[in-house]
Amino acid sequence: MSEKNEVEEVEVENEEEVVEETTDEVVEETTEVDPRDATIGRLNRELTKAKKALDKGAPKQTNKSDDLDYGQKAFLSTQGIKGSKEFDFVQEQIKKSGSNIENLLENDYFKSELENFRSINKTADAIPEGSRSGSPAVDSVEYWSSKPIEEVPADMRIAVVNSKLEQETKKGVFYNSKK
């Protein structure tokens, strides 16, 4: 038994040295810890290891606090700002100015920028997208080939006649046949 006691005493002495070495680092962070208490030292070591593991391994959660929440959108709607484009504009202005929504809405510069933004969007919405016109351009051969030859300008007549001849040679026997 004496051998076991000696081994245990050696282990305890080594453990106290380890505790003292590692708790010195932890004591700097928390001044309330007694470095001689082995259980608190172990707990602090485990705590710091756990914190380091969380910092390294856990993915950072990005909080989308920059986005407007439902309450802010409701407030903006009562102030006359509606639609996702205008919400995005307000959010961008909040980021630029660094102020809150209430101060931003009272700002004269913001009001003028909002009116400018609305007029630009109104103009962009009024312009039709794509080409809705089904007729060919006035200076094209297709346009003049449907007109009588007398109405065709002199510089376009040769191209129009060649186009009509080409259409007649490609024409099939039936109305829907292609040659």
Give pLDDT, residue 65: 58
Extents of the domains making up the chain: 2-57, 70-126, 141-170
Q: How far is CA 93 from the centre of its chain?
A: 16
Give pLDDT, residue 35: 53
Give pLDDT, residue 27: 47
Q: Estimate the crossing angle of helix 38-57 against helix 2-29, to 10 degrees.
A: 60
Tell me the pLDDT tens digit for each residue of 160-174: 999 888 888 777 767
Give pLDDT, residue 30: 52
Residue 125 near residue 117 (C-beta atoms within 8 A): no
Residue 110 near residue 95 (C-beta atoms within 8 A): no
Q: Residue 118: exposed, middle, or buried by beta-carbon count in 10 A (0-12, 13-18, 19+)?
A: middle
What mean pLDDT, rounded, does the chain reach?
74
How many CB atoms sit inside 10 A of residue 93's CB? 19
Report which secondary-structure segment, H or E, holds 78.
Answer: helix 70-78
Smallest Cα–Cα separation from 67: which of 103, 101, 43, 41? 101
Tokens encoding 120? 């630009």
Ranges of residues in the chain whose predicted pLDDT is under 70: 1-38, 57-66, 128-136, 173, 177-179
Calpha distance 102→110 (Å, rounded): 11
